Structure 1
């Protein structure tokens, strides 16, 4: 077995960069080199994050009722999927979700709402909830409310939001195959607006929507250029009733190779195995921890995740550790 990728990881650790051509070769390597690729990714992951795993929890504060036609999403205006639909929950319920995140040992609480962007009433609700959460806990707060209008990012920052998520999802070239009610530029402008407002930018991708290897590579380099601090790598969970319901899904080894490539291109960034992790990686989920340093606990927006205590067990069994600022709470809950 060769050592090319391991040597490249050592060079990347010293400040060099993976080229686009090398990234293309990385995704086409044979199966027998997968463990070497994961070892290369781990060299970088461990350099920046040791063996720690950051824990995040999502609350879906508004479900369905969306004007956008994203083909992957059960909340899309065109979706026929059977899901719960409700308007923005009151701030006290958002705060209660934060208490659950603390109980599970999560360090970051992600407030997510469907729709093109937040209304004035929805924004005020989030501001109120975040103020209470920040005053009464040590949680980091990430908001994901869609496309922001002028001034909204600054208001969220003032309320205490630490990070704003808006995924670019795929390459600019492939974007119109996913959604036509907004543009790729709408997405990148929102990420840039979050940066200008002083929030940490979180932006990622969805793999398995029918895109090419070139699209995967392009979106990873786009995220590098944008300056995303946190990169959630989602894998399509093909939901019945959505436009992408018949997409075949990715093999676990393909998912692992994409995660390893993300680490090689974005060595120092928080990379998260996000939505679709359980559905696509299956029993090979623990191997993802060699490339990523972050996961979601529990359910996603409209799909179930792995039971959160099983995630804690997975982390322990694989020899990794929960991020220090959340370790004590999480360990207590797990032992109980």
Structure 2
């Protein structure tokens, strides 16, 4: 076993301690010959500190497109010539989507809006949706509505929202290459507000936007400092009309190293496969990721891109003998 995998076994697996940024970078430089051993240590770490269950989540956008921000990976920005057009859903649509999500076996439903931050009308609509969903089914509800003031975070907590997603997206040093209309620190401030009111923090980002391996390790270390309950791992799906439209896909081996690195950075955190895994990793890579550190998935379609049918993901979990988390 390589020295860095011995370190990961001693710190992450045995003690539940995250690796340092320098150690995480060593994981990203592991040769292909060590990938199987790396995945095994990451999987054993996940089993020890998180258990065997896989948490399945469905997401839906209450407001799509027309966003004023310039996140270079996102086809929902109103600043790019993207095929995505602005649209809104009503309360009935959200309730039906939540029912379908619950029926699939998922335990969490996330309401998302393409905005810099929610205005009063959007918060009222979300409140009505949360109340209507809770009357119909039992499912944990989370939200992702952009930047929040402390008062807005408290409103969502009072509505019954359990978890709030606001991705840091990438490392602090690489962020200006990805977004120019707001700062990394603004995103961090929203996460601080979420923590202050007692909601769970969900924050991750996207692998493969042009960041260096050093910046990838920096990103994982910065997330670990925040101690999120959940980290969504996206892999860039280059969208037409965006500044990142011509970026290459993340190779499978590189993606699996990133998965293991994030597990070694945060041994006790929920790591969730999110957008782009179908393109970058495929079915085989997705299975390897679930046996290499990942313990949650977003199933079904994403916000502007197609995912796999929820039933296919559920079948996959049964095939590799991983139980789906129950409420």
Once the two structures are superposed, residues 286-330 of structure 1 have per-residue CA deviations (whole angstroms, 9 ceiling, x without a partner) of 1110211000010000000011111111111122111133xxxxx
In the other structure, the counterpart of 2:217 is: 217
Instruction: Report matched runs for 1:36-185 at 5 Å.
Output: 36-87=37-88, 89-185=89-185
Partner Cα separation in structure 2 for residue 18 and residue 132 of structure 1: 43
In the other structure, the counterpart of 1:20 is: 21
Once the two structures are superposed, residues 193-214 of structure 1 have per-residue CA deviations (whole angstroms, 9 ceiling, x without a partner) of 1111211000001110000111
Contact 1:9 1:43 in 2 (8 A): no
Structure 1 runs not aligned, ≥5 long? 326-336
Instruction: Report matched runs for 1:321-336 at 5 Å.
Output: 321-325=323-327
In the other structure, the counterpart of 2:33 is: 32
Q: CA deviation at 1:183?
A: 0.6
In the other structure, the counterpart of 1:329 is: none
Q: CA deviation at 1:257?
A: 0.7
Alpha-carbon RMSD:
1.5
Structure 2 runs not aligned, ≥5 long? none
Partner Cα separation in structure 2 for residue 173 and residue 221 of structure 1: 12
Q: CA deviation at 1:240?
A: 1.3
Matched pairs, number: 324
Partner Cα separation in structure 2 for residue 284 and residue 215 of structure 1: 23
- 2:278 maps to 1:272: no
- 2:291 maps to 1:299: no
Q: CA deviation at 1:51?
A: 2.2
Contact 2:238 2:247 in 1 (8 A): yes
Partner Cα separation in structure 2 for residue 211 and residue 166 of structure 1: 20
Contact 1:207 1:234 in 2 (8 A): yes
Contact 1:236 1:275 in 2 (8 A): yes
Contact 1:6 1:39 in 2 (8 A): no
CA change 1:41–1:172 in 2 (3 A) is: same
Partner Cα separation in structure 1 for residue 268 and residue 17 of structure 2: 12
Contact 1:17 1:265 in 2 (8 A): yes
Q: TM-score, normalised by structure 1?
A: 0.93
In the other structure, the counterpart of 1:246 is: 246
Once the two structures are superposed, residues 20-46 of structure 1 have per-residue CA deviations (whole angstroms, 9 ceiling, x without a partner) of 222111101111101111011011111
Q: CA deviation at 1:119?
A: 1.4
